[in-house]
Amino acid sequence: MKYSTLSNYVDGEAVKADGSLLDVFNPQDGSLIAKVPLSTADDLDRAVQAAKKAQPEWAAMPIKERVQIFFRYKYLLEKHLKELAELVLEENGKTMGEAAAEVEKSVEVTEFACALPQLTPGEIEEVSRGVECRVDRKPLGVVASITPFNFPNMVPNWTIPNAIALGNAMILKPSELTPLSANRLAELLKDAGLPDGIFNIVHGSREVVEAICDHPGIDAMSFVGSTKVAKIVYARAASHHKRVLALGGAKNHLIVLPDAHEEMTASNVAASMTGCAGQRCMAASAMVAVGDTDSIIRKLCEEARKIVPGKNLGAVISAAAKERIEGYITEAEQQGAKILVDGRGATVEGKESGFYVGPTVIDHVRPEMRIAKEEVFGPVMSIMRAATVDEAIEIENSSEYGNAAAVFTQSGGLARYVAEKASAGMIGVNIGVPVPREPFSFGGWNESRFGTGDITGKSSIEFWTRLKKTTIKWNPEARTNWMS
Ligand code: NAD
């Protein structure tokens, strides 16, 4: 085992957890690399108490001082980029380029947090004669962030810099499948000067997530993961009167029109479906091909064949994920869909125990098939055929999800028409992975998000703070009106 058994991180120190241990595997070769504790409610409580103790002093620091730590943290993320990316590669199985891009996105969200003093000044107005009203943004207290396996560095960083710079103390519960990056981030935050108790990690799975939902000392929590769990977590935490934002899964549609630029569309679609082995909530997994798009589909297959497991395609997270993804492909084939590129049974020489699925393109999928409706979370594209743009939009709109949608066309008018009608929070025009960059915020619609607002960018400022309104009469002789 390359790494020793992981500890929780509480009050600036590694702390042994009470719970049992779970094996952590490197998906590229199936080797055991670490063990992670499955913490209990008592383990969580220790972290909450430490966070509660530390938070008031942290909140009392002016934000301009608090963000100095994130300037240093940003520098440390950049300085250790290669090492952080290698850790992501080991625990998640994506390629080095993808892992490095993930850390670069963490740098970008930290850069946004460094700008928070410029984005969050309060307001003040004379509301009656001699009477002023001022509005200040205040932190919530102790908050929690629960994250998925697919971006072990980036998704924790969607929440850490913003929530903490805004004056909260945080408890992070990383995915038990990819728990290593989080502990390294804790070390970097400490090196950057973050006071002990402001950032804590409690490892584990369902038991500790439920304890987070129930704990009265946690004021707000964000969740990123599958829709099934997002729904449960949202309802459970909200029933304890917590502020909750729960981002769920996705089924992102690309609508390809016959006038789309052939090469650009094919390479973009192939990149969207295979990037991070299709394990991105922004990955396109359904393509609605409108009218005569056969040459684009042929080109897409050519591009997909250039993407090779173990070379420019990483592994999927587990043996169970590989089996599930291949099961979807086989079921679609049995239901009459046509497999144009088949990624089942992929292996990589020297890494025969790795969890690989090759790029898969399936044509003539019908909207009622399971593969067309459910999140596959692998490098698989289901192509559905539509006669008109409106029929394509109808297929997109019928999805229960609504994270992203994209249109490929050279017609500005048609692009705008589809962008307006698509029922998704993030829209791409000739872009297969339309992730908004800071200061714009990240978040979907429909069953891809439960709660209000988005998780990053300007929208996250609302989520991690509350408003204090103070009405002040400076001078007892002030002329007043009925309100005063
Ligand atoms: P997951 O829902 O299985 O796990 C997410 C978190 O929930 C983990 O920390 C896990 O320990 C915990 N968890 C798992 N089962 C639980 C249960 N029954 N009760 C309480 N907690 C539980 O998700 P995953 O497989 O780690 O990640 C992949 C999913 O995340 C995909 O659906 C993907 O689309 C989604 N995702 C969404 C976004 C987004 O922004 N919308 C971003 C990344 C990933």
Q: How confident is the model at residue 481 (pLDDT cuts 50, 70, 90)?
A: low
For residue 25, what are the contacts with CB-CB under 8 A and spacing of at least 6? 31, 32, 33, 318
The number of the ligand 1 atom at minimal distance from the alpha carbon of 375 is 32
User: Boundaries of CATH 3.40.605.10 in the chain?
Assistant: 8-249+443-469
Residue 109 has pLDDT above 70, yes or no: yes
Ligand 1 mean position to 209 CA, how many Å? 11
Give residue 237's identity as a one-letter amino acid code: A
Q: Give the pLDDT confidence of 41-51 residue by residue, as tens digits.
A: 999 999 999 99
pLDDT of 483 reads: 58
For a pocket test of ligand 1, which of 173, 222, 226, 435 has the largest count of ligand atoms closer than 8 A to its C-beta? 226
Ligand 1 mean position to 225 CA, how many Å? 2
Average pLDDT, the chain: 97
Nearest CA owner, ligand 1 atom 34: 249
Do 197 and 53 contact (CB within 8 A), yes or no? Answer: yes
What are phi and psi for residue 152, nearest 5 degrees? -65, -20
Q: How confident is the model at residue 130 (pLDDT cuts 50, 70, 90)?
A: confident
Ligand 1 mean position to 265 CA, how many Å? 30
User: Cα(55)–Cα(196) distance, rounded to whole angstroms?
Assistant: 10
CA atoms within 13 A on the CB side of 152: 28
The CATH number of 8-249+443-469 is 3.40.605.10
User: Cα(58)–Cα(73) distance, rounded to whole angstroms?
Assistant: 17
Ligand 1 mean position to 249 CA, how many Å? 8
pLDDT of 244 reads: 98
Do 472 and 136 contact (CB within 8 A), yes or no? Answer: no
For the chain, helix (H) and strand (E) counts, in that order, are 16, 20
Ligand 1 mean position to 182 CA, how many Å? 16
Residue 240 has pLDDT above 70, yes or no: yes
Written as six digits, the tokens of 374 are 């459910």
User: Boundaries of CATH 3.40.309.10 in the chain?
Assistant: 252-400+404-429
CA atoms within 13 A on the CB side of 243: 17
Strand positions, DSSP E, 29-98: 31-37
Nearest CA owner, ligand 1 atom 36: 225
DSSP state, 408? Answer: E
Nearest CA owner, ligand 1 atom 21: 206
Q: Within 10 Å of residue 470's Cβ, how many Cβ atoms?
A: 11
For a pocket test of ligand 1, which of 92, 151, 175 has the largest count of ligand atoms closer than 8 A to its C-beta? 175
User: Cα(408)–Cα(254) distance, rounded to whole angstroms?
Assistant: 7
Q: What share of the chain is helix, strand, coil (3-state, %, to 5)?
A: 40, 20, 40
Q: How confident is the model at residue 478 (pLDDT cuts 50, 70, 90)?
A: low
pTM over 0.85: yes
Residue 484 has pLDDT above 60, yes or no: no
Residue 383 has pLDDT above 70, yes or no: yes
Q: Give the pLDDT confidence of 462-472 residue by residue, as tens digits.
A: 999 999 999 99
Q: Which positions are annotated as active-site residues?
A: 281
Q: Give me the mean pLDDT over the 373-395 stretch.
A: 98
The number of the ligand 1 atom at minimal distance from the alpha carbon of 151 is 43
Q: Give me the mean pLDDT over the 258-287 stretch.
A: 98
**Residues lining ligand 1, judged by CB closer than 6 Å?**
146-150, 155, 173, 175-176, 205-206, 209-210, 224-226, 229, 232-233, 247-250, 281, 375, 377, 403, 444, 448
pLDDT of 138 reads: 98
Written as six digits, the tokens of 467 are 């408003």
3-state secondary structure of 320: helix
For a pocket test of ligand 1, which of 6, 22, 92, 149 has the largest count of ligand atoms closer than 8 A to its C-beta? 149
Q: Rounded to 10 degrees, what is the CA torsion of 103, 107, 108, 112?
A: 140
The dihedral built from the CA positions of residue 197, 202, 206 and 208, taken in this order, carries a sign that is negative
pLDDT of 338 reads: 98
Give residue 406's identity as a one-letter amino acid code: A
Residue 439 has pLDDT above 70, yes or no: yes
pLDDT of 474 reads: 83
Do 255 and 288 contact (CB within 8 A), yes or no? Answer: yes
Written as six digits, the tokens of 455 are 């998780």
3-state secondary structure of 43: helix
Residue 284 has pLDDT above 80, yes or no: yes
pLDDT of 482 reads: 60
Q: Which helix (H) or strand (E) holds 334?
A: helix 319-334
Q: Give the pLDDT confidence of 353-364 residue by residue, as tens digits.
A: 999 999 999 999
The CATH number of 252-400+404-429 is 3.40.309.10
The number of the ligand 1 atom at minimal distance from the alpha carbon of 444 is 41
Ligand 1 mean position to 147 CA, how many Å? 7
Q: Give the pLDDT confidence of 46-105 residue by residue, as tens digits.
A: 999 999 999 999 999 999 999 999 999 999 999 999 999 999 999 999 999 999 999 999
Q: Give me the mean pLDDT over the 437-457 stretch.
A: 97
Ligand 1 mean position to 150 CA, how many Å? 9
The number of the ligand 1 atom at minimal distance from the alpha carbon of 377 is 31
pLDDT of 128 reads: 86
